[in-house]
């Protein structure tokens, strides 16, 4: 390399450092180079070993006034200007977290000097920006939250960060690390996949690309041909959605134009095992953070059993990589009618997403289920979901509010053979019924028919349902695009659940 050292891309002017935690400054280097660092009134010196470095610096307090950081070797000086110290949040996942402010509704734009935005370049593989310079770019930097910058940034991340700044008056840094159309396998570290037999099947299937294409050259030729086709296909999906077609019709019409629009699986596919982890997430590891917000799952609606294992492994491995037991907020996928997946499968995926809830481990869930769109997998209203994420952070990180979490099913008991009482937990506010036409509660009878239930009474945090004889299951909001009719007094929906009734004894599946 020509210079003594190169900082990782995340170290730029206008950045935010996480306060109150050990700072990690890292990058590439020549061997045995002495690097001196000046940060405020402190001086550090390190000598590199090998081709990479990761220096540990003392924790900073909250710093609202801009400061510089200087790194210097005998041949080189780098100055990071206009830095702040506050709270830094990693906002990661696929397209609904990626969706930018200019493409959603009801965004309250506010220019905030102490809110800073950083987007990890969306690259399916290293060097993609050179091979497809019309599609990808790789020139990241921290940006101050001004409208022109906000418009191109994750809507959920911005609105959440804005509310933290306005309420708690401290600098906030937001790292957007998202790639649309990705499976959870792309975000898992490779050894995690290889060490879990259920997950390793995905890796074994991935290796089939070598059989299909024989050579890397053959794969490359087909991949280059498919990239513009896939982009045109996605454009048609957006066009047909805007014209009001149903989800099934949208895909049918697009497939008529492009019968085979997808990229081949292989070493350049973003959904290869650990693809996004290695190319994108690794760029910000081990940057000090306050918490992680993760919104992903639409590409895994047919993999509920695997996902239940994968999401817990992801949380554990990311915490290990960042060297911190970070609070983790998982966003449950929005309501949507998938053209090729049953409602029951989608509901089970949400069940797996919610299986990670554990307050004792700082694992929280926000649901987007009631703010979806039947024909659009990318709902344009992100405001409420962002507000719910903020509420979780406000309670569990800033300790400034209560009852921010959606309630879930806890247990049930029978008053008699015809009446069931369901207890809920996680939110102390009382429940109430909304939407008198359909509360989202259904019974499955012995003919496997779903029957709408309207005879529901709410008493505090309990739900009383009568006339349940003849049902073998009760389902609440347990579908791809369900109605939800039970909310807390602070407008949080009861999380979906499913109860299997057998001789008036619990044998249940929880979606909460």
SS3 281: helix
User: pLDDT tens digit string along 269-290?
Assistant: 999 999 999 999 999 999 999 9
For helices 304-321 and 197-206, give the axis angle rounded to 10 degrees: 90
Q: What is the mean pLDDT of each run of 10 residues along the chain (512 residues)?
A: 96 98 98 98 97 98 98 98 98 98 97 98 98 96 98 98 98 98 98 97 94 93 97 95 91 96 96 98 98 98 98 98 98 96 98 98 98 95 98 98 98 94 98 91 96 96 96 97 97 97 52 36
Which domains are present in the chain? Answer: 84-189+274-405 (3.40.50.1110), 198-273 (no CATH), 408-506 (2.60.40)
Q: Are 194 and 107 in contact (CB under 8 A)?
A: no
Whether a cis peptide bond, with omega within 30° of 0, leads into 286 is: yes
Say if pTM beats, i.e. exceeds, 0.85.
yes
What pLDDT is stored for residue 436 in this prediction? Answer: 75
- For 23, phi and psi rounded to 5 degrees? -95, 140
Both tokens of 190, joined, read 């490779």
Q: How would you class 305 by CB atoms within 10 Å of its CB: exposed for 0-12, middle for 13-18, buried for 19 or more?
A: exposed
Q: Are 430 and 421 in contact (CB under 8 A)?
A: no
The secondary element (H helix, E strand) that includes residue 210 is: helix 208-213
Pairing mode, strands 112-119 and 172-178: parallel
Q: Which of 390, 328, 376, 371 is nearest to 353 (CA)?
A: 328
Cα–Cα distance for residue pair 185/311, rounded to 1 Å:
10
Starting from the edge strand earliest in sequence, which strands make up the sheet with 5-7, in order? 5-7, 23-29, 52-57
Query: How far lies 113's CA from each of 147, 163, 175, 391, in Å?
Result: 11, 14, 16, 23
Q: Find, among 168, 194, 211, the residue nearest to 62 by Cα.
A: 168
- How is residue 366 annotated by DSSP? E
Tell me phi and psi for residue 130, to 5 degrees.
-85, -35
DSSP state of 407: P
Specify the 3-state DSSP secondary structure of 323. coil
pLDDT at 267: 96
Q: Which residues, in sequence order, are CB contacts of 388 under 8 Å at separation 6+? A: 366, 367, 404, 406, 492
Count, residues in the chain? 512
Q: How is residue 100 written in tokens?
A: 């930018």
Identify the CA nearest to 445 among candidates 426, 467, 478: 467
Beta carbons of 121 and 8 less than 8 angstroms apart: no
Give burial (CB, 10 Å; 0-12/13-18/19+) of 320.
Answer: middle
pLDDT, tens digit (0-9, with 9 covering 90-100), for 308-367: 999 999 999 999 999 999 999 999 999 999 988 999 999 999 999 999 999 999 999 999
pLDDT tens digits for range 190-247: 999 999 999 999 999 999 998 899 899 999 999 999 999 999 999 999 999 899 999 8
Residues 177, 278: Cα–Cα separation, whole Å: 12
């Amino acid at each position: 390399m020509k210079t003594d050292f190169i900082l990782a891309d995340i170290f730029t002017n206008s950045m935010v450092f996480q306060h109150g935690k050990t700072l990690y400054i890292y990058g590439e280097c020549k061997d045995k180079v002495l690097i001196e660092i000046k940060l405020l009134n402190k001086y550090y010196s390190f000598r590199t070993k090998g081709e990479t470095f990761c220096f540990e610096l003392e924790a900073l307090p909250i710093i609202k006034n801009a400061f510089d950081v200087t790194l210097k070797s005998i041949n080189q000086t780098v100055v990071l200007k206009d830095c702040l110290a506050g709270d830094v949040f990693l906002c990661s996942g696929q397209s609904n977290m990626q969706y930018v402010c200019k493409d959603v509704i009801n965004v309250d734009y506010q220019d905030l000097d102490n809110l800073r935005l950083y987007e990890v370049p969306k690259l399916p593989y290293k060097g993609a920006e050179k091979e497809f310079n019309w599609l990808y770019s790789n020139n990241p930097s921290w940006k101050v939250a001004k409208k022109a910058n906000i418009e191109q940034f994750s809507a959920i991340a911005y609105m959440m960060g804005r509310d933290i700044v306005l309420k708690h008056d401290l600098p906030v840094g937001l790292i957007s690390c998202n790639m649309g159309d990705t499976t959870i396998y792309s975000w898992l570290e490779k050894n995690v996949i290889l060490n879990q037999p259920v997950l390793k099947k995905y890796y074994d299937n991935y290796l089939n690309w070598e059989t299909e294409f024989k050579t890397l050259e053959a794969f490359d030729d087909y991949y280059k041909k498919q990239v513009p086709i896939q982009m045109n296909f996605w454009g048609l999906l957006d066009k047909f959605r805007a014209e009001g077609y149903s989800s099934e019709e949208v895909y049918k019409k697009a497939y008529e134009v492009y019968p085979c629009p997808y990229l081949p699986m292989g070493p350049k596919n973003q959904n290869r095992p650990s693809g996004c982890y290695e190319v994108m997430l690794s760029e910000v590891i081990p940057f000090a953070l306050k918490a992680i917000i993760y919104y992903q799952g639409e590409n895994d609606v047919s993999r509920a059993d695997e996902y239940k294992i994968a999401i817990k492994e992801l949380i554990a491995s990311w915490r290990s990589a960042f060297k911190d037991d970070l609070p983790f907020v998982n966003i449950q996928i929005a309501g949507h009618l998938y053209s090729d997946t049953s409602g029951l499968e989608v509901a089970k995926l949400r069940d797996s997403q919610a299986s990670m809830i554990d307050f004792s481990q700082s694992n929280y869930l926000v649901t987007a289920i009631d703010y979806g769109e039947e024909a659009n997998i990318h709902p344009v209203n992100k405001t409420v979901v962002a507000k719910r994420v903020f509420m979780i952070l406000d309670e569990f990180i800033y300790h400034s509010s209560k009852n921010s979490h959606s309630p879930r099913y806890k247990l049930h008991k029978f008053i008699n053979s015809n009446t069931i009482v369901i207890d809920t937990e996680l939110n102390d506010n009382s429940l109430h019924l909304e939407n008198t036409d359909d509360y989202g509660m259904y019974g499955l009878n012995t003919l496997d028919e779903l029957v709408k239930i309207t005879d529901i009474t709410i008493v505090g945090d309990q739900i009383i349902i009568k006339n349940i004889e003849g049902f073998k299951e009760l389902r609440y909001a347990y579908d791809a695009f369900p109605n939800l009719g039970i909310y807390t007094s602070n407008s949080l929906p009861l999380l979906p659940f499913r109860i299997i009734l057998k001789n008036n004894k619990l044998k249940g599946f929880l979606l909460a």
